[in-house]
Amino acid sequence: MLRGATSAYPAMAQQVQLPEVSWAPCEALLRNSQHMHGQERPEVRVLALVYALGGLLCLVSARWPLTAQSPVALMAALGGTGLVVAVAVLLVGRRWPVGVVHVGFVVLSALVALAAAASVTAVGVVGLGPMLIAGCLYAAQSFSAAAARAYGVCLLAMATAGAVLSTADGLVLPWVVVLVTAVVVLEVHGRMVRTLRDTAALDPLTGVANRRAWLAAAERDLAQARRSGRPYTVVVIDLDGFKAVNDSRGHAAGDALLRELSASWSRQLRRGDLLGRLGGDEFVLSLPGTSEVQAGALVERLREVHAMAWSAGMASSDGSARIEVLLARADGRLYAQKRAGAGTHERSRVDQIQDH
């Protein structure tokens, strides 16, 4: 996200490609959203919808059984359980830790397996197909690619085990069709969701978090720091003399510099840190569990990865300040540093690069 200077900007503009795709910003944003409590959590609402769908399917099976041997009582019990759980998830699910939501999906898989095992006809077993598809849609929508596949495997394996235990005949081919459909839905929907999530959350030039996504994630990091009592620091970074790079070398070289710097900086960050681009040549770091002293050490390490000159200001949470206040403090320190002429020793290095 920051621009990296090289020894020959024209060549760099032609040769530097988009940096290697890093999922760290997406993972950090997803991690933050999954650990929030008491806020909007779409995955909880969708889980409630899936439970409600399963409950309704079971109640329909109980009300209009396919044969006299159909387990009407069991289907009615499963249907009632599904609806009760759906209501409970809607009412209190937002306050659940993410682990409870995961357990809820595993329980859902077990209930589907039980319904499949109790079915006495192939139509009854295959009729659970909408539940499998709904479960796969939920997993693809709510979890990372690896987690969604793991939960998809869990759901389909448990449902298949239930189908094997069923006494229904002529089940193999239609059940294979259901499984293949569910897998395709899981993969296709997952790719679409991740693409849309990246488009909404990432800066298109540098691949780091955009302003909106970074602010949302930083608010969550700050709230978590307040609850845990751990330190939290933000760092605002502004490139020195970037306009001169654009004016003398062209915007393509400036864009390449931003991509190179953002990639270099991202490699120095921990898994929980989040780098964002506020706009232009201004960037920001969210550093949970990091004191101002530790953030200062990180800033010095970042200075060593590239010759481009830049100034930085930081601010740590005092337990009450909002993220906007911390950003204002860090911004004030940044421009105080610029006025004091800090970074001059770095500028000389950039001059040498540009003169090369």
Catalytic residues: 281
DSSP of 163-215, one letter per residue? HHHS--SS-HHHHHHHHHHHHHHHHHHHHHHHHHHHHHHB-TTT-SB-HHHHH
Angstrom distances, CA of residue 223 to CA of 30, 62, 293: 16, 47, 21
Give the whole-angstrom CA distance, residue 272 versus residue 60.
47
Give the whole-angstrom CA distance, residue 1 versus residue 284.
10
Query: Which token pair is 308?
Result: 């481009």
Structure letter (DSSP) for residue 66: S
Torsion of CA 30, 32, 34, 40, to 10 degrees: -110
Judged on CB neighbours under 10 Å (0-12, 13-18, 19+), 135 is: buried
Judged on CB neighbours under 10 Å (0-12, 13-18, 19+), 256 is: buried
- Give the residue among 165, 150, 57 at the shortest CA–CA distance from 105: 150
To the nearest 5 percent, what fractions of the chain are helix, strand and coil? 65, 10, 25
Longest Cα–Cα distance in the chain: 89
Give the whole-angstrom CA distance, residue 28 versus residue 271.
7
Q: What are φ and ψ of residue 277, in 5° steps?
A: -110, 115
Angstrom distances, CA of residue 98 to CA of 74, 104, 216: 30, 10, 18
Judged on CB neighbours under 10 Å (0-12, 13-18, 19+), 349 is: middle
